[in-house]
Amino acid sequence: MKRILIIMILLVIPWLLISPALAQTQTPTAAPEPAVAAPAKAPATATGKQTAAEQNEILQKLQELQKQVDTLKEQGRTREKLSITAEEKAEKEKAVLTAVGREYTLMEKGKIELEYSFRYEYISSSQILDASNIVPRSNHTVRNAIGLQYGLRNNLTVNTNIPYVWVYDKAGTQQSKDNNDLGDVTFGLDYQPFKSGGEWPTTTFTLSAILPTGRSPYKINRDADLPTGGGLYGLSFGMNMSKSIDPAMAFGGISCVYRLKRHDLSQYMDGVGQLDSVDPGLSLNGAVGLAYAITYALSMNVQVQYGYNMSTEYEFTNGVKYSSAAYSTSSVIFGTGWRISPKTTLSLSVGIGLTSNDPDFFFMLRLPFSI
C-alpha cells in the first residue's frame, strides 16, 4: 500500500511542476500567429494589385496597336479608291479625246486597233455659162477608210489610213459624172515625249507621209472624170495638246503640210496648154476646241478649224507660168462620243464650212475595233 502511495506522489508532483511550464510555453506561441499571418497576406495583396496594373497597361497598348492597324487599313483602302478613281478618270479622258480625233491619243505598247470611218461631204456652187444662164452645181464625196494603229511603246504609235473614195458631181439636171477609186494612203508616227498629266498639257508630235495612190487631178480628163486623190507626195508635221480642266477637256493643235513638186505631167487645159509641173505651196492648219463628258458613256465636243494654203505655181510646156491665189479654209465641228464598251467609242460629228472653199457641210462616223 505504501508503495502505491509513493508511486502516485512521485507521478503527481512532477505533473504539478510541469503543467505551469507547459501552459506558459503554449501561450506565447499562439499569440504571434496573427502577427506572422498578417505580414504574409500583405505581400499577396500588393502582388495582385501590380498584376492588374500590368494587365491594364498591356490591354491599352493592344488597343492602341489595333487602332493603328485599323488606321493603316483605312489609309490603304483610301489609296486604292484614289488609284481606281485616277485610272477611271484617265480612261474617261481618253474616251472623250478619242471622240474628237485619234491625233490626241496613243495606243498602249503591243496593242493593235482597227478603225472604220465614213465621211460624207456636200459642196454646192453655181456655174455661169453666160449672162442669162447660171447652172447650179453639186458635188457629193463619200470616203470609206480603214485605219490601223499599233503601239510600239506606250508613248510611240505607228498608224496608217487607207481610204476608198466615191465622187459624184452633177451640173443642172442633165450633166453628171461619178467615179470611185482608192484615195491617198497615209502612214504616220505619233510620239509623246513627256508623260501625260500634271500641270503641263499632254503634248503629242505627229509625222505623216502622204502617198498619191488616188486618182490624180493632174492626170485625168476633167471633162469626163473626177479625182479621188491629191496627186502629190507630201509630208505633214504636227503638234497636238490636250488638258483636263474639270469637268471639261481643252484641246488644240497646229500642223504644216509640205507637198513635193510634181514634174512630167501631160494634162491639157483649155485655153492655156499642156500642164508640165505643179509646185504646191505650204498648208498651215490649226484647231482649238472643248470637250465635255455628260455621263460616263456620253460626251460632247466642239471645235473650230482653220487652214491657210499658200499659192500654187503651174508651169506649162509652152513656157506659160501661172500662180493661183492663196486662200483660207475654216469650219466649225460639233461632235459626240458614245462609249459602247471600255475599249470602243462610237464617234459622230457634223461640220459646217465657213468659207466658200469649204464643203457646205460634212458628216463623219468613226468606229474602232480592238484586236
- Residues 16 and 97 both lie in one domain: no
- Condensed to tens digits (0 to 9), the pLDDT of residues 194-243 reads 876 667 889 999 999 999 999 999 888 877 889 999 999 999 999 999 99
Positive or negative, the Cα torsion across 353, 359, 363, 368? negative
Same domain, 26 and 110: no
The verdict on 144 and 12 lying in the same domain is no
pLDDT at 17: 53
**Residue 118 in domain:** yes
> What pLDDT is recorded for position 20?
52
Assigned domain for 146 exists: yes
196 against 178, higher pLDDT: 178
pTM of structure: 0.72
Mean per-residue pLDDT of the chain: 83
Task: Supply the range of the domain harboring residue 270.
Answer: 84-370
37 inside domain? no
Q: Say if strands 202-211 and 234-245 run parallel, antiparallel, or are unpaired.
A: antiparallel
Q: Are residues 120 and 214 in the same domain?
A: yes
The pLDDT value recorded for residue 64 is: 87
Distance of CA 78 to the CA centre of its chain: 23
Let me know if residue 78 belongs to a domain: no
pLDDT digits (tens, 9 = 90+) for 240-266: 999 988 788 999 999 999 999 998 787
Same domain, 191 and 325: yes
164-175 pLDDT, tens digit each: 999 998 876 667
Q: Are residues 19 and 91 in the same domain?
A: no
pLDDT for res 213: 95
Q: Give the separation between CA 175 and CA 224, rounded to whole angstroms.
A: 10
pLDDT digits (tens, 9 = 90+) for 117-157: 999 999 988 766 555 667 787 899 999 999 999 999 989 99
Task: Please report, for the domain that includes residue 91, its CATH number.
Answer: 2.40.160.40
Query: Does 267 fall in a domain?
Result: yes
Determine the pLDDT at residue 50: 56
Residue bearing the bigger pLDDT, 4 or 51: 51
Q: Which residues pair with 351 in a beta bridge?
A: 333, 362
Among 163, 116, 114, which residue's Cα sits nearest to residue 141?
Answer: 163
Beta bridge partners, 242, equal 202, 251
- 248 and 116 co-located in one domain: yes
Q: What share of the chain has pLDDT > 70, as a percent? A: 80
Residue 11 has pLDDT above 70, yes or no: no
Count of structural domains within the chain: 2
Nearest to 155 by CA among 204, 216, 87: 204
Q: Looking at the structure, tell me whether residues 206 and 276 fall in a common domain.
A: yes
Q: Is the sign of the CA dihedral 23, 29, 32, 37 positive or negative?
A: negative
The DSSP secondary-structure symbol of 331 reads E
Q: Do 169 and 276 reside in the same domain of the chain?
A: yes
Residues 16-65 have pLDDT tens digits of 555 554 454 444 444 444 444 444 444 444 444 557 777 888 888 888 88
Same domain, 129 and 266: yes
Same domain, 92 and 25: no
Q: Is residue 332 part of a domain?
A: yes
DSSP string, 215-228: PPTTSS-TTT---S
Could you tell me if residue 66 is inside a domain?
no
In a domain, residue 207? The reply is: yes
What kind and span of H or E run contains 95?
helix 32-100
Q: Are 227 and 202 in contact (CB under 8 A)?
A: no
Residue 297 has what pLDDT? 86
Indicate whether 92 and 9 sit together in one domain.
no
